[in-house]
Structure 1
Amino acid sequence: MTALGRSGDLVHVRQVIRALCQRCRLSLVDQTKMITAASELARNTLVYGGGGTVTSGVVARGSRRGVAALFEDSGPGIADVEEAMTDGWTSGGGLGLGLSGARRLVDDFELESTPGRGTTVTIIKWVR
């Protein structure tokens, strides 16, 4: 588990995810996709969630192997998850591609959020 409390933690998250991707033998393209998605979600956890944690590792489902990352915060949550997942929606000054962009980069994407209680996002990139 990695704490996300300051901007320097984002570099550490990228390094951990890169190492897991290499260990799992994801292709270079899939490594880049997973690292990019994890980086964006870590930044969201820090900026919009007020900080939190990321737990990551190699996972297996049957004969499939992949890299998973779970981002958790206790921030304000997302009032309308469906709206937040649309391209162009932003709660800040960004481009509005964070959540929807991250979802497109990975194979499995799950978001749970409760206003006033926080947000949890789980992503997985499977080896092809």
Structure 2
Amino acid sequence: MYATHSFWFEALFWWYNVKQAKGPGVTSALTWNELKEHIMEKFCHKIEKDKIEREFIQLQAGTMTHRQYTTKFYEMARLLPEHVKPEAKRVKRYVQGLPPRIRELVRISAPKTYESAIALSAIAYEEDGKITSDNKMK
């Protein structure tokens, strides 16, 4: 109920049509997962999902900051849960997208959880920045 009250514009009009077609009793009995499926069917077409999937598979931190990369990874992983389950797969995919020097530092620590991979990569980014700054000053 809360989620559907948050809909705006096109999503709101779509939801009113669903309620009219199925009836308020049926729509209020939908589980969260059922509602997500309906939303994905309507607003995330196969072509768009395939594009996001390709972007996610090729996601590299590159010149992004740690926060930017982690946020982008989280956003894309949320849309493609099949690519990050189980936890070990999520960790592996996250670490693969890190810059090479950071990636190696994180891999050495062998994080078991996504949260630990994020924490380790944050430390590695910070240390790498210090090393880079020291080298520039020399």
- TM-score using structure 2 length: 0.23
Relative CO higher for 1 or 2, CA cutoff 8 Å, sep ≥ 6? 1
**Which structure has the highest helix share of the two?**
2
**Which structure has the highest strand share of the two?**
1
Q: Which has the larger radius of gyration?
A: 2
